[in-house]
Structure 1
Amino acid sequence: MPIRPQYRRVSALQREFFDREGLLAAYGEELRAIGGGPRILNVVGVGGIGKSRLLQELRNRTPDSHRTARLDLQLPTMRQQEDALAVLRMEFGAQGVRFDRFDIAYAVLWQRVHPQLQMNRRNTPFAEESDVLSKILDDAMGLPVFGTAAGLVRLTGRAIKNRQRRQLIQADPTLHELDDLSNAELGHAVSYLFAEELRSSASERPYVVYVDAYEALVPAPLPGGRNFVADAWLRDLLGQLHGGLTVLASREPLRWAVYDEEWAAVIRRADLDGLPMSARLDLLAQAGITEIPRQRSIAEASAGVPFYLHLAVDTHLQNPGRSGHAGTSEEIVQRFLQHVAADEVRILELLSTARTFDLHVFQAVGRAFDLPANLLTWESLTAYSFAYPLSDGWYRLHQLMIGALQRHLSPAVRRRVHRELRLHWEALARDMEGGDRRTASTARISPLREAVYHGLHGGDITADDIPRHADRAVALNGRQAVDGIVEDLRAYLAVPVVPAGGDDHPPAELRDAADCLEAESKLELGDTAGAIALTPSLDRPVRTLVGARLALAGANARRIAGESSLAATIFERVWTEHAGEARAAAGSCVADLRMWQGDFQGAFALADEVHGLCTAEDAVVRGDVKRLMHLGHRFLMDFESSARLLAEAEAEYREAEAVVGLANVRTNWAELWAFTSPGDAVAEAAAALAVQRDLGAQHEIGKAYTAMAMAQTRMGEYERAASSFDSAEAALERAGYRSGRARAAMFRAFLLWRRGDREGAGRLLVHAAREFEECQVYPSLILAIHRAADMIGVSAPELATAADRARPAVRPPGGLAALQHRTDAVLSAFLEGAG
Structure 2
Amino acid sequence: MPLEPRFRRVAALHRRFVDREAAFEAFSEEHSKVGRGPRILNVTGVGGIGKSRLLREFGGRVKDTHRVATLDLQVPAHRHQEDALAVLRVQLGERGVRFDQYDIAYAVLWQRLHPHLGLTRAELPFIEHSEVLSELLDTAAGVPVFGTAVSLLKLMDKGNATRKRRRHLQQNETLRQLDLLPGAELVDAVTYMFAEDLRAGSEGKPYVLFVDAYEASGRADGSDVWLRDLAAQLDRGLTVIASREALGWEVYDADWREVIREFPIEGLPMEARMELLSDGGVSDPVQREVIAQASVGLPFYLHLATDSRGSGHVVSQDEIAQRFLEHVSAEERRYLQLLSVARTFDYDLFHGLAAAFQLPGGRLAWEGLTAYSFVYPAAGGGFQLHRLMADMLRGRLSPAMADDAHSALYLLWSERATDAVGMREAAYHGLYAGAISDGDLLVYADRITACGGTQGVAGLISDLQDHLGGGGDPALEEAAACLAAEAAVLLGDSDRINELTPDASWRLDTEAGARLAVAAGHGRRIAGQTTRALRIYSDVLDVHTGPARWPAGLWAADLHMAQGRFRRAFELVEQVTRECPEDAGVLRGDLARLLHLALRFSYDFTAADRQLQEAARHYQKAGTIVGEALITTNRAELLAWTDPFAAVAVARKAVEANTDLGAIHEVGKAYSALGQAFLTLGRLDEAADALDSACVALEKARYRSGRARAELLRACLHARCQEPDQAAASARWAVDELVDAEVYPTLIVVADRLLAAVNRRDERVSTAARQAWAAIEPIDSRDALEDRMTHYLRGLLG
What is the TM-score normalised by the length of structure 2? 0.62
* Paired residue type of 1:18: R
Counterparts in 2 of 1:328 and 1:708: CA distance versus 1, 3 Å: farther
Cα displacement string for residues 743-770 of structure 1 (whole angstroms, at most 9, x for unaligned residues):
1111111111111111221121111111
1:380 alignment partner in structure 2: 368
Cα contact 2:407–2:435 (8 A) shared by 1: yes
Query: Does 1:785 find its partner at 2:746?
Result: no
1:458 alignment partner in structure 2: 433
Deviates more, 1:403-412 or 1:717-726: 403-412
Cα displacement string for residues 516-548 of structure 1 (whole angstroms, at most 9, x for unaligned residues):
223222222222222222222344212322112
CA offset at residue 19 of structure 1? 6.1
Cα displacement string for residues 401-445 of structure 1 (whole angstroms, at most 9, x for unaligned residues):
22222222221221121111111111222xx4xxxxxxxxxx7x7
1:352 alignment partner in structure 2: 340
Query: Does 1:389 find its partner at 2:387?
Result: no
1: CA distance between counterparts of 2:776 and 2:292?
63
Cα contact 1:780–1:807 (8 A) shared by 2: yes
Query: Does 1:716 find its partner at 2:682?
Result: yes
Aligned counterpart for 1:666 among listed residues 609, 632, 636: 632
User: Number of residues paired by the alignment?
Assistant: 531
CA offset at residue 823 of structure 1? 0.7
Counterparts in 2 of 1:376 and 1:654: CA distance versus 1, 3 Å: same
CA offset at residue 452 of structure 1? 1.3
Cα displacement string for residues 50-101 of structure 1 (whole angstroms, at most 9, x for unaligned residues):
9xxxxxxxxxxxxxxxxxxxxxxxxxxxxxxxxxxxxxxxxxxxxxxxxxxx
2: CA distance between counterparts of 1:49 and 1:680?
53
CA offset at residue 477 of structure 1? 4.9
Cα contact 1:564–1:777 (8 A) shared by 2: yes
* Paired residue type of 1:596: A
CA offset at residue 775 of structure 1? 0.5
Cα contact 1:542–1:578 (8 A) shared by 2: yes
Aligned counterpart for 2:302 among listed residues 301, 306, 317: 306
Cα contact 1:303–1:400 (8 A) shared by 2: no
Counterparts in 2 of 1:799 and 1:457: CA distance versus 1, 3 Å: same
2: CA distance between counterparts of 1:720 and 1:621?
36
Counterparts in 2 of 1:355 and 1:331: CA distance versus 1, 3 Å: farther
Query: Does 1:284 find its partner at 2:273?
Result: yes
* Paired residue type of 2:625: V
Cα displacement string for residues 216-239 of structure 1 (whole angstroms, at most 9, x for unaligned residues):
xxxxxxxxxxxxxxxxxxxxxxxx
Counterparts in 2 of 1:802 and 1:688: CA distance versus 1, 3 Å: same
Query: Does 1:367 find its partner at 2:355?
Result: yes
Query: Does 1:564 find its partner at 2:535?
Result: no
2:444 alignment partner in structure 1: 469
Counterparts in 2 of 1:331 and 1:769: CA distance versus 1, 3 Å: farther
Where 1:654 maps in the other structure, the secondary structure is: helix
Structure 2: stretches of 5+ with no match in the other structure: 1-10, 19-47, 51-243, 245-263, 279-290
CA offset at residue 707 of structure 1? 1.0
Cα displacement string for residues 85-138 of structure 1 (whole angstroms, at most 9, x for unaligned residues):
xxxxxxxxxxxxxxxxxxxxxxxxxxxxxxxxxxxxxxxxxxxxxxxxxxxxxx
Within a 5 Å distance, the mapping from 1:483-632 to structure 2 comes to 483-494=458-469, 505-506=472-473, 508-632=474-598
CA offset at residue 296 of structure 1? 13
Counterparts in 2 of 1:297 and 1:808: CA distance versus 1, 3 Å: farther
Where 1:615 maps in the other structure, the secondary structure is: coil
2: CA distance between counterparts of 1:731 and 1:354?
40
2: CA distance between counterparts of 1:463 and 1:277?
34
1: CA distance between counterparts of 2:450 and 2:295?
39
CA offset at residue 329 of structure 1? 5.8
* Paired residue type of 1:768: A
2: CA distance between counterparts of 1:812 and 1:548?
31
Query: Does 1:652 find its partner at 2:627?
Result: no
Where 2:638 maps in the other structure, the secondary structure is: helix
Cα contact 1:552–1:571 (8 A) shared by 2: yes
Where 1:769 maps in the other structure, the secondary structure is: helix
1:9 alignment partner in structure 2: none
* Paired residue type of 2:568: G
Counterparts in 2 of 1:470 and 1:604: CA distance versus 1, 3 Å: same
CA offset at residue 797 of structure 1? 0.6
Cα contact 1:473–1:482 (8 A) shared by 2: yes
Cα contact 1:455–1:461 (8 A) shared by 2: yes
Within a 5 Å distance, the mapping from 1:49-448 to structure 2 comes to 283-284=272-273, 286=275, 302=298, 304-307=300-303, 330-390=318-378, 394-429=382-417, 432=418, 446-448=421-423
1:827 alignment partner in structure 2: 793
2: CA distance between counterparts of 1:773 and 1:538?
27
Where 1:396 maps in the other structure, the secondary structure is: strand
1: CA distance between counterparts of 2:532 and 2:440?
28
Counterparts in 2 of 1:331 and 1:628: CA distance versus 1, 3 Å: farther
Where 1:304 maps in the other structure, the secondary structure is: helix
1:707 alignment partner in structure 2: 673
Counterparts in 2 of 1:598 and 1:285: CA distance versus 1, 3 Å: farther
2: CA distance between counterparts of 1:353 and 1:586?
39
2: CA distance between counterparts of 1:452 and 1:328?
37
1:128 alignment partner in structure 2: none
Cα contact 2:273–2:297 (8 A) shared by 1: no
Deviates more, 1:365-374 or 1:548-557: 365-374
Within a 5 Å distance, the mapping from 1:788-807 to structure 2 comes to 788-807=754-773
1:436 alignment partner in structure 2: none
2:202 alignment partner in structure 1: none
Structure 1: stretches of 5+ with no match in the other structure: 1-12, 21-47, 51-273, 290-294, 319-326, 433-442, 497-504
2: CA distance between counterparts of 1:580 and 1:491?
28
Cα contact 1:284–1:309 (8 A) shared by 2: no
2: CA distance between counterparts of 1:779 and 1:521?
30
1:696 alignment partner in structure 2: 662
Within a 5 Å distance, the mapping from 1:22-61 to structure 2 comes to none
Cα displacement string for residues 792-820 of structure 1 (whole angstroms, at most 9, x for unaligned residues):
32221101221232233210122322211
2: CA distance between counterparts of 1:826 and 1:296?
76
Deviates more, 1:695-704 or 1:639-648: 695-704
Cα contact 1:18–1:279 (8 A) shared by 2: no
Counterparts in 2 of 1:279 and 1:769: CA distance versus 1, 3 Å: closer
What is the TM-score normalised by the length of structure 1? 0.59
2: CA distance between counterparts of 1:495 and 1:549?
21
1:18 alignment partner in structure 2: 16
2: CA distance between counterparts of 1:746 and 1:278?
53
Where 1:464 maps in the other structure, the secondary structure is: helix
Cα contact 1:527–1:735 (8 A) shared by 2: yes
Query: Does 1:809 find its partner at 2:775?
Result: yes
Cα contact 1:359–1:393 (8 A) shared by 2: no
Cα contact 1:277–1:304 (8 A) shared by 2: no
Cα contact 2:413–2:426 (8 A) shared by 1: yes
Where 1:388 maps in the other structure, the secondary structure is: strand
2: CA distance between counterparts of 1:297 and 1:525?
44
Query: Does 1:742 find its partner at 2:740?
Result: no
Where 1:372 maps in the other structure, the secondary structure is: coil
Q: Which has the larger radius of gyration?
A: 1
Counterparts in 2 of 1:477 and 1:757: CA distance versus 1, 3 Å: closer
CA offset at residue 277 of structure 1? 7.5
Cα contact 2:49–2:265 (8 A) shared by 1: no
* Paired residue type of 2:548: A
2: CA distance between counterparts of 1:753 and 1:725?
15
